[in-house]
Structure 1
Amino acid sequence: MKLILAPMEGLTDPIMRDVLTHIGSFDWCVTEFIRVTNSVLPDHVYHSYCPELLTEGKTAAGTPVHVQFLGNDPEMLAANAVRAVALGAPAIDMNFGCPAKTVNRHRGGSVLLDEPDVVHQLVKAVRDAVPSHIPVSAKMRLGYMDRNFTLENAHAIEDAGAAWVTVHARTKAEGYTPPAFWEQLQPIREALKINVIANGEIWTNSDAKQCRLESGCDDLMIGRGAVTTPDLTQCIRQNLDEPLITWDELLTLQIRFLHGPYKKEINMVGRYKQWLGMMSKHYPEAKMLWNEVKRIKQLNEIINKLQSTSAE
């Protein structure tokens, strides 16, 4: 069973990848999508989205990081994929799942699922451009507004030479509202020869087991569940329903997060509060801490609060 950390814009950034792979047990991560338009991006853009390119394409914990692209220009996607590989990307992923209105309005992400021929063209362009030993994969949803082209898109990705496809078990129209329709992945898995990775609404070990049962997929991509419960992958691998990590260990992890590189202090404070709010769903201590730090605006004050809490 492979467990993969999902790409989530504004959430699983390099700092969060470092923290989660430090405590979790992931086979690989995928970057937030890098949008490609009409040019080959400069190296500093790649290093911003994926600083792991400077460390052999791996996090500090040794977890590989695949670079994900989003766009609709086959030549530019291919050229940027070649550049990413030259910089050290161990694999390339293609985004056909993003439901954001702005992205879809510019003909990117999940809106392309209404055009299976274009999906095939884009994946094939990248596959043909990068060295054969570099895996190319794609992430899709069940469809855009409906599921009329689910299998067509899956076949388009496979026929273009992708090594595997990850499927979020909802359409764009269904967004992130529960439930995820894991059973809808079974026909895809049965129709394809390449591996199908299941994604969507995996919050607990029980969810992971049920997803594998209903989808027939062996491998799982986990997003918000991994951020909410940082040791979720370990719980899944050891078949445990309760978190293994203690609150003191989580505090150390949060301090590590707050010491990560950031451009603006206010943004880092906001990112931390977002994460703490998510963890409060599973940890009562997180909810208590949230009430104590929610009005703090200075990063050092939050770090001092965590350190003093840890020492108690």
Structure 2
Amino acid sequence: MGFLGKRRDKSSTLTFCDLDAYYTPHVQIVSQIIDGDEHNTSAACHADLRSIPSYSPVICTGKLVPRPRRIQDALEFGDHKGVEPKYPMDNLWDLKLRQIRPLNQFPKDIVVSKGQIWAAKQRHLAMRFDRLLRDRIRFRDFLTATAREQLRIHRFEEIETPMLFKSTPEGAREFLVPTRRPGYAYALPQSPQQYKQLLMAGGFRQYFQFARCFRDEDLRADRQPEFTQLDIEMSFATGADVRRAVENLIRALFRRLRHKFGTTNVAGGVRHPTIANPEQLKEAEAALKEDPKNPPP
């Protein structure tokens, strides 16, 4: 199951089409009319594939076979030196199509082109067709999972604190949530530290949380109404203990990131995290061996 890519018709009897299933290995659909097919099933399936618009969600049934390595090499690196591979090596498969069924039809009035800017109401399309946006979301997920793993190794516990609390005026205005009782309202927390004293006094020696913070302020380039921060709290700790915990976490994050993500430069000198291809990973490993104290960006 996944979304159809652009169809490539090689002849009237042979068609190729990518299946974008995101987290699964890259699959290429191969549809071919087989001579001597007494039930004409291959011809009917072939016609079904050609009738479905590109980018439509589909369910496909067929025989999955690994693509020959020599074809992988030609596709990934052959005559395209310097071009970033789109998919990992040893991760390419052909699906010999037997049956295909559309779950929905992609609208014909939507034009998909490279570098297209999508309106806010088409955010779902932006996530589907903007690889940088998808990789940024996956980057955030990878950071969160790695941080959780490392903090638990060092005996931190994850604790969730309430989102609704009494108003505690600080430096910024608060979002107020009305209740059914006249004159009473909750406030969304500006920061999770409001609960730190309660938990520390309750015997939780060290804990962490990915806390949502809310501030009712005007939007600026460096300000937004809600954001997430990693909050680490420790009791009976010295400054050296805190520095050691943070250094261990940052070191582990960079070590893991180096094996998963690279960077891509876009307009204005902005750099975005992208899921690294094999060549980027090799370059990062080589640079780290040459200068372990200054890892590649």
TM-score range, shorter chain: under 0.3
TM-score, normalisation: structure 1: 0.23
TM-score, normalisation: structure 2: 0.23
Instruction: Specify which structure has the higher proportion of helix.
Output: 1
Give the number of the structure with larger relative contact order, counting CA–CA contacts within 8 Å between residues 6 or more apart. 1
